[in-house]
Chain A
């Protein structure tokens, strides 16, 4: 029976010189990091560059690593700082088309790939509706101020608790909860057409 080592244990093993442990951390966190960074900077290439930079910084810091906080707090703090700097400094061009433009399949845009292999949609109209919904949701997240965006992504997709997210964003827990509240208030207005169709009042 193989025991799954915790993040902290893996990182301590990396500190001790075990390269294999670093590979395991790389496998464990490459997808969450790329996805978080992509939702933050809205540029796939930049998101991958930043994610690679996160792993490089983790590697560089290995000898001084002390498990004073959760590994994910440390990891996502590095990622969030890089993302916020990137958004503020570079203001990357959005790759997505506007909502008024003809909708094309994601595979042609090279914008996103889903995990499903060779989607087969017997109902093209349904497919277009789904794509339109996804674009609307992505757009709504992208419009959020950076810190609110980071809070939503960490809360929703990384399922980090409030204490962790507040450490990552360097604010109090109550400030974080207010941040999330404002973000969700904005999202429910931006996504009103989609929300209305799914909510029974």
Chain B
């Protein structure tokens, strides 16, 4: 074992936390390395020195202050909302459904019931809607032939004024 490898083992050796096989390996290195032996002894001395520091007692008011902090904690909020939503999951689903409903309801814009292609093409661009509803008296020029009265199935022809 090299001195470098000792770095991660030396404290565990001092602490007595090494497993037997590793402890033996470290011991073998120490037997042949004065520098590491010195280091081990000095590390042991340091841990002993750290033991000389006294233990502090918390102040007399310590526990009371902890109790005061805990007493000052807000109680669990039970708002009106909680009545409707027994669980966060339900609240989430409900709010998503609500959003969906609002979105569907807000959709506007003309939707042609008949596709534009299905509508008959009107040749006369000056198609006059009003004149197409000319009084019946104007129809006298046109032979009133009931037998040929199949206009209903045919597109309206603009009346020539």
Interface residues of A (CB under 8 A from B): 26, 30-31, 34-35, 38-39, 44, 48, 51-53, 55-56, 59-60, 112-115, 130, 133-134, 137-138, 141, 152, 155-157, 161-162, 174, 177-178, 180-181, 184, 187-188, 191, 194-195, 198-201
Residues of chain B with a CB closer than 8 A to A38's CB: 56
CB < 8 Å neighbour of B73 from A48, A59, A195, A201: A59
B73-108 Cβ-contact flags toward A at 8 Å (1 or 0): 100000000000000000000000000000000000
B42 to A, closest residue via Cβ = A188
**Are A134 and B53 in contact, with the CB atoms below 8 A?**
yes
**Are A35 and B66 in contact, with the CB atoms below 8 A?**
no
B70 to A, closest residue via Cβ = A59
Residues of chain A with a CB closer than 8 A to B43's CB: 184, 188
A173 to B, closest residue via Cβ = B8
- Report the bound CA distance from A128 to B32 in whole Å: 41
How many residues of B sit at the interface, in one of the four size bands? Answer: 20 to 34
**Are B47 and A178 in contact, with the CB atoms below 8 A?**
no
**Are A113 and B46 in contact, with the CB atoms below 8 A?**
no
Residues of chain B in range 115-148 having any CB-CB distance to chain A below 8 Å: none
State whether A115 and B45 are in contact (beta carbons under 8 Å apart), knowing that A60-B73, A133-B52, A178-B8 are contacts in the complex: no
CB < 8 Å neighbour of B62 from A34, A134, A188, A191: A34
**Are B38 and A187 in contact, with the CB atoms below 8 A?**
no
Q: Give the shortest distance, in Å, between B98 (CB) and chain A (any CB).
A: 30
B50 close to chain A: CB less than 8 A: yes
**Are B7 and A137 in contact, with the CB atoms below 8 A?**
no
